[in-house]
Amino acid sequence: MVQDGGSGFRPINRRVRMTPEQRREQIATQAAGLIARYGSYGVSMQAIADAVGLTLPGLYHYVKDRDELLALVVERNYDRTMPSYDALAGEYRAERGLPDDAPLSLPWVLRRMVERNAERPELVTLFMRLAVEAADPHHPAHAFYRDRHHVVLANMTAQHWNLPEAYRDQERLHDLVVTAYFAMDGVQVQALTNPDETMVELWARAERVLFPSPQWDGYR
């Protein structure tokens, strides 16, 4: 028995009652932490069940198989652990000493995203692997990846960017953002399979091509 903060005693193994949505949130959070530490192949379903205080059959009540579990981890954690545009804007303006309404630098924001991904390689690996598997319409993460592409592009093109005149045209900006995300995906795969250069170093190469001088001088 252990004391329960002023209300008497409770059994050590008493299960906290949660709604199904709260339980899935707990599973996603605990699984993400384990995967970040041990890798997706190093974490068993039993380990995740233990982490959330469920039996293995109990875990399968909330996620039907390993594919659904991994999809849940990506859906609940990948974008959530990336700073929001508002947070990035605040960081950028503070770093540059700019007013609160100053437009953002597209190269700077993309660079920060790559730096953030470099800090979470296991989650990036899982994200990239599931992206390929989720091409199957029956995969549990299919809808997430299908919809995420459009949401990311819409959010990126809607920001208040400081751009060279040639890219103030919405169609050209859209093409640039799409190309930048193609490059980012390639950089992540290359960094995860080639130890000679880090993700940040590879992105620096891509950035010089995407945002060349002199056109982008003063906009980085």
Judge if 104 and 144 occupy the same domain: yes
Q: Are 49 and 131 in contact (CB under 8 A)?
A: no
Domain that holds residue 117: 82-220
Assessment of whether the complete model's pTM goes beyond 0.85: no
Please tell me the predicted confidence (pLDDT) of residue 1: 34
* Residue 2's pLDDT band (cuts 50, 70, 90): very low
Name the strand (E) or helix (H) holding 171.
helix 170-193
Q: Are 114 and 199 in contact (CB under 8 A)?
A: yes
Judge if 158 and 94 occupy the same domain: yes
pLDDT tens column, 141-158: 888 888 888 888 888 888
CB atoms within 10 A of CB 126: 22
Domain boundary among 27, 43, 77: 77
The structure tokens 């990036």 sit at: 124
Say if residue 6's pLDDT is above 70: no
The Cα-based distances of 119 to 62, 122, 163, 190, 196 in angstroms read 29, 9, 28, 16, 17
- Using DSSP's 3-state secondary structure scheme, residue 94 falls into helix
Please tell me the predicted confidence (pLDDT) of residue 12: 45
Judge if 99 and 185 occupy the same domain: yes
Name the strand (E) or helix (H) holding 121.
helix 121-133
Q: Are 187 and 203 in contact (CB under 8 A)?
A: yes
Q: Are 105 and 219 in contact (CB under 8 A)?
A: yes
**Closest to 66 (Cα-Cα) out of 123, 141, 153:** 141
Query: How many domains are there within the chain?
Result: 2
Domain boundary among 77, 97, 115: 77
Nearest 10 degrees: Cα torsion 116, 117, 122, 128? 160
| Tokens matching residue 26 | 């707990």
pLDDT tens column, 104-145: 999 999 999 999 999 888 888 888 888 888 888 888 888 888
How many Å apart are CA 159 and CA 108, to the nearest integer? Answer: 13
3-state helix, strand, coil in the chain (%, to 5): 65, 5, 35
Which of the 8 DSSP states describes residue 165? G
Say if residue 174's pLDDT is above 80: yes
Judge if 106 and 171 occupy the same domain: yes
